Structure 1
Amino acid sequence: MLIRGGMIVSAGVQGAVRKDIVVRNGLIESVSEPGAVEGADLAEHDATDRLITPGFVNAHTHGHANLMKGVAEAWTLEASLTHGLWLGGARNAETVYVSTLLGAVDMLSKGCTSCFDLVYEFPLPTKENFWAAAAAYRDAGMRVVLAPMVADRHLLQAIPGLIEALPAELRDEAAKFSMPPRDATMAAVEAIVRSRAELPSGIALALAPTIPHHCSEGFLTDCRDVAARHGLPIQMHVAESRLQAVAARRSYGCSAVRHLAKLGILSPNFTAAHGVWLNADDLDVLAAHGCSVAHMPASNFRLGSGLAHVRPMLDRGINVGLGTDGANSSDALSMIAAMRLASYGARAIAGSREGWLRAPEILSMATEGGARALGRHDGRIAPGAPADLAFFDLGHVDFLPANDPVNQIVTCADSSSVTDVMTDGEFRLRRGKFTSLDLVELREKVVRSTSRLSRATDAMRRLAGRLEPHVVAFADALASEPVGMERHVRAGAGAWS
């Protein structure tokens, strides 16, 4: 295909420039001046009224949560984790497929073509359900890194002193929901990893031990060894909330990052998700090991976790990808919204405007930075890169007038200006319509799946609702311990560090 005359925006390109793009065998073959290519043997696509970006790369999401949009009103992270067992429980292969496909449709409709999906299933990850998630991404035409999200401790066991602080009747009920033994979980992970040759094209594997203090030291080193043996990336939630920073110091006598470094887990294949409560020393350690950070401003705002300080990460050369998090904590799975919130959030941090994130940096985080976190070296419009592209309507009100299209992607655009989305050189969205997915049928399946889940998880939901106020109160009290930094905007608070 010859895509004629579109204004392209990509890492390494200054501003938006008109180019012709030749796509062949799923890859970008050439990017040239308009009219320079004779297209006699090529189908032509007129893009003269389109702005073209690399497809966005979501560096962190949770496919199992896509049926949970809007369930959280005033949840903190710890409140959300209290509900984690039913959020990932009672899944069968059909429900996993529907939930994952719904998220893929959501992301594709907003210009996102690749993601890193941390898939949680309680009590154990199963090959059948994991492969159902892979099939959903295959059918949607999305590129994905799928990671079983695992731990050998749940929230109540992971926070020092929390179980003892619960009322006696809740303590007894909560004890019924223990995590499976470490060996059983690792055997389930190994079963998935050993069969990865069966995965469809464009789908890769990773590991996701969920949160450092939710994993025993032995469990973490098991994950490290499996990842090293099979050459898999690792992504973990690190220093997402203030309580996590306190819990790490109570548990290890050092930060979570220092603890992971001691265990040999940090490497260029490691991504720290969120990283809100990282200090300068933590960033130095991540930089020294070549790690990435997945920045989730929508989720951090939604859960009140704080403002991640991204500028010091970039200053140290840390690769930063942008992500949405799951639909239970950012709801819309919009990379476009994530870019805007990343921009605005950086401006809320005390200091000069030199620390603000600029539009080209944010667009790079949403494309090339995310691709690196997925272990890929694309996210660009350049020869040899996959033909994963998002097309924006330059006639849409978001781009009228088109004074600075790069800036306007971040400050003006929303999903209504996305007209077409291509992956592997094929249109998945064409003139605002999906080319191979029946959304009416998907909607009917979503209704059936959510109805079944509501019945199957009722007891777990009611128990979580009773636990939640006690967990949040204990977490708030514990998180009041000093951690040497501030990531919330508070009246009278000291300077950021």
Structure 2
Amino acid sequence: MTEILIRGAKILAVDAAHGTEPFDGDILIEGATIRAIGPQLSAGPDAQIIEGRGKLVMPGLVNSHTHSSETFFRGRYQGMPLEIWLLYAYPLLMNGAIGERLLYLRSLLLAMESLKNGVTTFCDDFFDPPKHDLDRLGTVFRAYDDVGIRANVSSAVMNIHTLDALPFAREVMPQNLQDQLDFGPPITADAYMDYCKSAFSSLHGKAGRLNFMIAPSAPQRCTRDLLLACYDLARDKAVPFHTHVLETKTQAVTGHEIYGKSLIAYMADLGVLGRNTTIAHSVWVSDDDMRLMGEAGVSIAHNAVSNQKLGAGISPIRRLLDAGVTVGLGTDGVCSNDTSRIFDVMRVAGLIHSVSGPDYSKWVTADEIVRMATIGGARSAMLEQVTGSLEVGKAADLLILNLRNYPFMPLNNVAKHLVYSENGSSIETVMVAGRIVMQAGKLTTVDEDAIFDEIAELVPVHLAEHAELEKRNAVFEPVMAEIHRRSMLQDIGLNRYQGDLPAWPGKN
């Protein structure tokens, strides 16, 4: 079994004993696993020695929420709220599914960029309309296997018509436009369960680091029986029940318009809030919502960058943490963020919560954000026993950063440097399951130049086709704009600063 000894490094373990306080020591890796952490460790005569002097070793970052289906749309959109942006990134009027080679390259590109920027694990909320196809899902798994990343991959599902999952849609959209939106019979809960069970049988656990997860798109987009079936299967297989909830004001209005309560309250009444539940976004949540989430042991993926680009709002992270909710960080898809860098999300999260209220004792700290980017993200992916911290017995998913680089010069507080200064430029080595997948700035598992050449050759035709699709779907933009406008005017009784302002610091 291959041994690697990282010797004399500064170690940021993010474990129960040390938290985000770095210490000096060695790390011994055997095969895929961390076997020892401590001073003056010894290794066998054939061990690979990595000199750690002047280096920081830390857990690989976890991207708690992304969408590989957006990877080719980087740099394409701006100035659109979510409901309008969806028309172009996820068109209502669709062409056929993207070709298999492009599907592979699209998935590969996301994983390549992620690894080069320190993300060793991500949760890909893969969405591939018009149907669920096990072979196509297998293509995504193959890309992630080839590049060497750890991943949870879904095949996101919805079975409620788009217009019935939005407030005001049927009254706002002219009938001639509604008539164009014939998506055929929706998938049934039984059919989706059969598909998922086949995915678990054939793909789950591939290479010891690739898993299938259950992903109902959102509670308002799925029937009750589908949500319940998804939740039961997620619990049975010990995987995330990964969904989108309360990203925008429109979604906040949706719950009250359709169910007479918030979407979180609806999920609680249905019985689909629990340890397995991971909620992407969680922006427009009330105190009652957060209490229910904390009591149930829910996790969220905080998409600090994409929420700002789409004008969705700022998630009340301090109040969520205080309620007992686990928080991970997500990039969301590349075309609502434009990178897959979690370091960017860390920095934005470190800045935006300082406007959550004048009580600066409640602002989110760098130490908390480092935990969100590592062990918090691992917990949201239900992988906290595998990754997210440097501990004996866990997978050797780690980063080696050069401390003799601008983001750390001079060195003051490691966590603050990582959140406010680092952008990924200091990463020298990335390891997943004991395998070095990036070294000296180059991926070791794929030929980056060859992949870039192939993308440059094949993708322009695809993007030209997509441009025509955008033109076809532009007819719906005034409708979505009106839905957005009406939602903004609705009073849902949610004070964005509620609970953040009990008193000025030190005031009785």
**Superposition TM-score tier, normalisation by shorter sequence:** over 0.9
**What's 2:28 paired with?**
22
Counterpart of 1:276, as a letter, is V
The residue correspondences of 1:387-402 to structure 2 (distance < 5 A) are: 387-402=396-411
2:26 is paired with a residue of what secondary structure?
Answer: strand
Q: Structure 1 residues 214 and 6, CA, compared in 2 at 3 Å: closer, same or farther?
A: same
**What's 1:430 paired with?**
439
Counterpart of 1:5, as a letter, is G
Query: 2 CA distance for matches of 1:91 and 1:132?
Result: 12
TM-superposed CA distance for 1:443, in Å, is: 1.2
TM-superposed CA distance for 1:99, in Å, is: 0.7
1:119 is paired with a residue of what secondary structure?
Answer: coil
Q: Deviations over 1:307-345 (max 9, x none)?
A: 101111111222111111110111111100111111111
Query: 2 CA distance for matches of 1:216 and 1:88?
Result: 26
**What's 2:13 paired with?**
10
Greater CA drift, 114-123 or 87-96: 87-96
CA contact (8 A) 2:60 2:388 kept: yes
TM-superposed CA distance for 1:22, in Å, is: 0.6
TM-superposed CA distance for 1:221, in Å, is: 2.3
1:443 aligns to 2:449 (yes or no): no
The residue correspondences of 1:87-486 to structure 2 (distance < 5 A) are: 90-173=97-180, 175-177=181-183, 180-182=186-188, 184-196=191-203, 199-377=206-384, 378-486=387-495
CA contact (8 A) 1:58 1:112 kept: yes
Counterpart of 2:51, as a letter, is D
Query: 2 CA distance for matches of 1:495 and 1:421?
Result: 39
Counterpart of 1:57, as a letter, is V
CA contact (8 A) 1:98 1:449 kept: no
TM-superposed CA distance for 1:405, in Å, is: 1.9
2:429 is paired with a residue of what secondary structure?
Answer: strand
The number of equivalent residue pairs is: 491
1:367 is paired with a residue of what secondary structure?
Answer: helix
Q: Deviations over 1:102-141 (max 9, x none)?
A: 0001111111100111000111121111111111111111
1:37 aligns to 2:42 (yes or no): yes
Q: Structure 1 residues 387 and 64, CA, compared in 2 at 3 Å: closer, same or farther?
A: same
Counterpart of 2:462, as a letter, is L
TM-superposed CA distance for 1:423, in Å, is: 0.8
Q: Structure 1 residues 452 and 355, CA, compared in 2 at 3 Å: closer, same or farther?
A: same
Q: Structure 1 residues 154 and 448, CA, compared in 2 at 3 Å: closer, same or farther?
A: farther
Counterpart of 2:257, as a letter, is R
Query: 1 CA distance for matches of 2:232 and 2:112?
Result: 35
CA contact (8 A) 1:245 1:483 kept: yes
TM-superposed CA distance for 1:48, in Å, is: 0.8
CA contact (8 A) 1:308 1:487 kept: no
Counterpart of 1:11, as a letter, is V
TM-superposed CA distance for 1:154, in Å, is: 4.5
1:209 is paired with a residue of what secondary structure?
Answer: coil
Note the aligned Cα RMSD (angstroms): 2.3
Query: 1 CA distance for matches of 2:422 and 2:341?
Result: 11
Which of the residues 38, 63, 69 maps onto 2:68?
A: 63
TM-superposed CA distance for 1:301, in Å, is: 0.7
Greater CA drift, 193-202 or 367-376: 193-202
Query: 2 CA distance for matches of 1:333 and 1:178?
Result: 34
Query: 2 CA distance for matches of 1:311 and 1:267?
Result: 20
CA contact (8 A) 2:399 2:431 kept: yes
Q: Deviations over 1:383-429 (max 9, x none)?
A: 11111111211111111101112210101011222121111112111
Query: 2 CA distance for matches of 1:179 and 1:359?
Result: 48
CA contact (8 A) 1:124 1:185 kept: no
TM-superposed CA distance for 1:460, in Å, is: 3.3
Q: Structure 1 residues 207 and 106, CA, compared in 2 at 3 Å: closer, same or farther?
A: same
CA contact (8 A) 1:68 1:87 kept: no
Greater CA drift, 314-323 or 227-236: 227-236
CA contact (8 A) 1:486 1:496 kept: no
Query: Which runs of 5 or more residues in structure 1 are unaligned?
Result: none
Query: 2 CA distance for matches of 1:266 and 1:353?
Result: 31
Query: 2 CA distance for matches of 1:142 and 1:6?
Result: 24
Query: Which runs of 5 or more residues in structure 2 are unaligned?
Result: 503-508
Identity %: 29
